[in-house]
Amino acid sequence: NDSDDDEFRKTLGLPRPAFWELLDIIELDITRKRTNWCVPLSPAIRLCVYLDYAGHGCSLRQLSAQFDIGRSTASGFIKTLSESIVSRMEN
């Protein structure tokens, strides 16, 4: 649906195919292992958090509320994703 694709692009700042391509490139860098204590958020959700932050400049408090994650978790996602994207662009 074109309206869904437009909303996706408006929300995350890039079209769906570019999102999936970027995720494919960085997925191994941002995937976390499941432990006995928690199930990590998927790499796709991690990328959504990062793109929302990068595209809209929202605060960690806003990200925390929007994605139902802690502020330190959001901060960690941003750091990890930034490092991964820069590293992959350099190579």
Q: Rounded CA gap, 32 and 38, in Å?
A: 10
pTM comes to 0.88
Q: Rounded CA gap, 85 and 25, in Å?
A: 9
CA distances from 24 to 17, 18, 27, 41, 73 (A): 11, 10, 5, 16, 22
pLDDT digits (tens, 9 = 90+) for 15-47: 999 999 999 999 999 998 888 888 889 999 999
pLDDT digits (tens, 9 = 90+) for 52-83: 999 988 899 999 999 999 999 999 999 999 99
| 43 CB neighbour count, 10 Å cutoff | 18
